[in-house]
């Protein structure tokens, strides 16, 4: 079972509201730092513009794209991004988890089903804060991947690492068909799209029920 992370395991809209409040509270009394807000905006924008992109070193290139747009150095971009995107939100992730996610992961583990996550963003720390454990954690900026969704590089790496030879025994769960769904199609893996309305109530409890009754 392979999972996307943002918007798939937790309510991304709730987290964004929390972080918007934190950003406004911080920068409203520090207007001289407005450039940092531009950095955050362009960092996400430049990555979104490059879906399907394959590079030589995405881990570093992602900062360079933003640096060009904001007249900053890659080092300055990385400092701001690390603070507000990769660190500050983590403490709120567990409170944003969709109902039933933790139990579904426990059920998968109890049945000996291997789990992995594949995200365009590094998810290692996010998983720790959410209290979720997986057998394999892969991001698009991994040096072995270096490609954004919907390129299938990340999913193919997971198949290789977990030694999965029958793709129909694998399932990828994500919240964006244009990225996650297309990625699964290209990798030849079955895909389930998270319905945001159902995810807030019954999506993961229903998956647990289906799993325990062997209907997934």
pLDDT in tens, 150-209: 999 999 999 999 999 999 999 999 999 999 999 999 999 999 999 888 888 999 999 999
Question: Are 165 and 116 in a shared domain?
Answer: yes
Give CA angle at 19 (17, 25), nearest 5°: 105
Q: In terms of residue numbers, what domain contains 68?
A: 13-92
Question: Are 87 and 103 in a shared domain?
Answer: no
Question: Are 102 and 207 in a shared domain?
Answer: yes
pLDDT surpasses 70 at 138: yes
Domain boundary among 69, 92, 115: 92
Which CATH number goes with the domain that contains 139?
3.40.50.1000
Alpha-carbon gap, residue 135 to 83, rounded angstroms? 27
The residue count of the chain comes to 216
Domain count within the chain: 2
Task: Judge contact between 142 and 55, C-beta under 8 A.
Answer: no
pLDDT surpasses 70 at 215: no
Question: What would the pLDDT profile of 30-69 be if each residue is shown by its tens digit?
Answer: 999 999 999 999 999 999 999 999 999 999 999 999 999 9
Domain boundary among 56, 71, 92: 92
Question: Are 21 and 74 in a shared domain?
Answer: yes
Question: Are 174 and 193 in a shared domain?
Answer: yes
Question: Are 105 and 20 in a shared domain?
Answer: no
CB neighbours of 30 closer than 8 A, spacing ≥ 6? none
Task: Read off the pLDDT of each residue in 144-149 and give the average, rounded to a whole number.
Answer: 98
Question: What would the pLDDT profile of 23-39 be if each residue is shown by its tens digit?
Answer: 999 999 999 999 999 99
Domain boundary among 92, 124, 157: 92
Q: How many CA atoms lie within 13 A of 130 on its CB side?
A: 26
Alpha-carbon gap, residue 92 to 37, rounded angstroms? 20
Sign of CA dihedral 94, 97, 103, 105: negative
Question: Are 157 and 81 in a shared domain?
Answer: no
Question: Are 111 and 38 in a shared domain?
Answer: no
Structural Rg of the chain based on CA atoms: 18
Q: How confident is the model at residue 20 (pLDDT cuts 50, 70, 90)?
A: very high
**Strand pairing class (2-3; 172-174):** parallel
Question: Are 192 and 138 in a shared domain?
Answer: yes
Output the pTM of the full model.
0.93
Alpha-carbon gap, residue 99 to 198, rounded angstroms? 10
Task: Kindly state the tokens that stand for 68.
Answer: 């060009």
Question: Are 56 and 146 in a shared domain?
Answer: no
Question: Are 39 and 57 in a shared domain?
Answer: yes
């Amino acid at each position: 079972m392979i999972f996307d992370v943002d918007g798939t395991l937790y309510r991304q809209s709730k987290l964004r509201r929390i972080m918007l409040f934190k950003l406004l509270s911080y920068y409203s009394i520090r207007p001289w730092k407005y450039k940092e807000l531009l950095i955050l905006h362009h960092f996400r924008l430049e990555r979104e513009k490059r879906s399907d992109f394959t590079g030589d070193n995405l881990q570093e290139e992602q900062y360079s794209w933003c640096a060009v747009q904001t007249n900053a150095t890659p080092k300055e971009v990385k400092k701001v991004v690390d603070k507000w995107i990769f660190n500050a939100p983590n403490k709120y992730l567990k409170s944003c988890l969709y109902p039933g996610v933790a139990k579904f992961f426990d059920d998968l583990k109890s049945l000996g089903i291997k789990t992995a996550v594949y995200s365009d963003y590094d998810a290692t720390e996010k998983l720790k804060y959410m209290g979720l454990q997986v057998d394999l954690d892969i991001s698009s900026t991994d040096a072995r991947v270096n490609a954004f969704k919907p390129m299938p590089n990340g999913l193919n790496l997971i198949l290789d690492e977990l030694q999965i030879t029958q793709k129909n025994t694998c399932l990828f769960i994500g919240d964006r068909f244009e990225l996650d769904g297309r990625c699964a199609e290209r990798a030849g893996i079955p895909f389930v799209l998270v319905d945001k309305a159902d995810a807030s109530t019954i999506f993961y409890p229903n998956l647990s029920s289906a799993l325990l009754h062997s209907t997934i």
